[in-house]
Amino acid sequence: MTAIGTPQAGNNLDPWYHHYAERAAALRASEVRALFAVASRPEVVSLAGGMPYVAALPQDLVMNALENVMRKQGPVALQYGSGQGVPLFREQILEVMALEGIRANADDVVVTTGSQHALELVSKLFLDPGDVVISEGPSYVTAMVIFKSYQADVDHVPMDDQGMIPEALREHIARLKAAGRTIKFLYTIPSFHNPAGVTLSWARRLEILEIARENQILVLEDNPYGLLYFDQKAPDAMRSVERDGVIYLGTFSKTLAPGFRVGWALAPHAIREKLVLANEAAVLSPSSFSQLVISEYLATADWKGQINTFRGVYRERKNAMLSALAEYLPELTWTNPNGGFYVWLNLPETLDSKAMLPRAVKELVAYTPGTAFFADGQGRQNIRLSFCYPTPEHIRLGIRRLATVVRDELEL
């Protein structure tokens, strides 16, 4: 037996390599992570991350909320709280969800440490090794990391510009069932998809809910971007028409600020109690401080007007990105999102987005290769471009640099 703490074959740097649980294998740094460290240098235009542009927030109003909370209820804000979340705050969350057609009871809302943590809790409750999660292909990378860390497999259903294709979903379910697989839930980002930038049409929302109902598959509706539309509102949330078969996830990360780390799950009543218990086991209680500050902000600031400001900022940036693409890369195709943060670019077949990234970084532009968003190696001909953080001028510059890289690659 090798002594504890002795480096072993497989990983010379980590003496505990053979002690990890099997599920830890899924927690690997992505191959492009090291490059992103380089890409964070100021001279690089990063179209890679998904950081909200929090500088557009009314900082004074956030400061007011913070001061009011400390003055009026400092000891409560600094104390542990309910494992389900502050009751008044959960009522306010109902008002946010009402904007997307959801009518619910505050008793079914569970406040979490960002919606990322809600994804973790739902996975913990439902996934056993070998289970299957169906998702769009591509899908949100860090949700898939969680699913895989619970040793579930991700099955990708293809999408088009209307979102997930219902016929393909039916086929996938039939195939998985015929193979004796257990499908635990359908994970979907219906509005302003990350990374594809497309929105599931209303007709398809109904159809997909019907398919899920027929097959007794729980739907996990992840909706961080729904309120960040540009011209036309997204269709109402799937949860607005299906209460018992949908766990809905929301967050203040994109409409307010991710630094609060506050999101929520709206769960079918039967599931809600388990979620609260899982939340308590994980964090005891979500941050009282963050919840109370957001609650005060919602009560005192024009938060709907502020979301409108964000919409304007992101609309301008999306337009800058699409016009730069049309000017510098007219031979390629891309999605035209009506909200959210992302454009999905299709490359010619001879190019490989992952292999091209180091050369792009050398040309001082970074993006996320499509392969990051598939569990099965697809995505080499795709790139996710984020327009949320850089200024319109930087977006133009970034796309111009990207065009140079693409041209050079095509001529190789």
Measure CA 46 to chain center: 18
**Closer Cβ to ligand PMP, 155 or 222, answer by number:** 222
Select the residue interacting with ligand PMP from 263, 337, 370, 398 (CB under 6 A). Answer: 263
Residues 6+ apart with CB under 8 A from 68: 296, 300
From the CB of 363, what's the least distance to ligand PMP, in Å? 26
Where does 194-302 have alpha helices with state H?
A: 202-214, 269-283, 288-300
Select the residue interacting with ligand PMP from 135, 191, 194, 291 (CB under 6 A). Answer: 194
Select the residue interacting with ligand PMP from 82, 188, 191, 251 (CB under 6 A). Answer: 251
Burial 224-255 (b: 16+ CB within 10 A, else e): bbbbbbbeeebbbbbbbebbebbbbbbbbbbb
Q: Is 199 in the site for ligand PMP (CB under 6 A)?
A: no
Question: In 3D, which of 181, 112, 185 has the Cα closest to residue 147?
Answer: 185
DSSP 174-208: HHHHHTTPPEEEEEE--SS-TTT-----HHHHHHH
Judged by CB under 6 A, the number of residues near ligand PMP is 13
**Closer Cβ to ligand PMP, 135 or 285, answer by number:** 135
**Closer Cβ to ligand PMP, 84 or 194, answer by number:** 194
From the CB of 111, what's the least distance to ligand PMP, in Å? 11
Measure CA 25 to chain center: 22
β 365-366/45-46 pair status:
parallel
Which listed range, 6-14, 94-102, 111-119, 272-280, lies at the site for ligand PMP (CB under 6 A)?
111-119
Query: 46 is written with which tokens?
Result: 């990063």
Which listed range, 108-116, 274-282, 290-298, 402-410, lies at the site for ligand PMP (CB under 6 A)?
108-116
Query: 210 is written with which tokens?
Result: 């019907």
Question: In 3D, which of 345, 374, 373, 375 has the Cα closest to residue 360?
Answer: 345
Element (H, E) at 148: helix 141-149
Query: 309 is written with which tokens?
Result: 């400001």
Select the residue interacting with ligand PMP from 85, 114, 190, 379 (CB under 6 A). Answer: 114
Select the residue interacting with ligand PMP from 116, 279, 288, 371 (CB under 6 A). Answer: 116
Q: Is 52 in the site for ligand PMP (CB under 6 A)?
A: no
Q: Is 50 in the site for ligand PMP (CB under 6 A)?
A: yes
Q: Is 344 in the site for ligand PMP (CB under 6 A)?
A: no
Query: 169 is written with which tokens?
Result: 């979903």
Distance CA 342, CA 356 (A): 20
Select the residue interacting with ligand PMP from 138, 226, 258, 398 (CB under 6 A). Answer: 258
From the CB of 144, what's the least distance to ligand PMP, in Å? 11
Which listed range, 112-120, 164-172, 293-301, 323-331, lies at the site for ligand PMP (CB under 6 A)?
112-120
Which listed range, 38-46, 56-64, 114-122, 280-288, lies at the site for ligand PMP (CB under 6 A)?
114-122
Query: 268 is written with which tokens?
Result: 């079918």
Query: Which residue ranges make up the site for ligand PMP (CB under 6 A)?
Result: 50, 114-116, 140, 189, 194, 222, 224, 251, 253, 258, 263
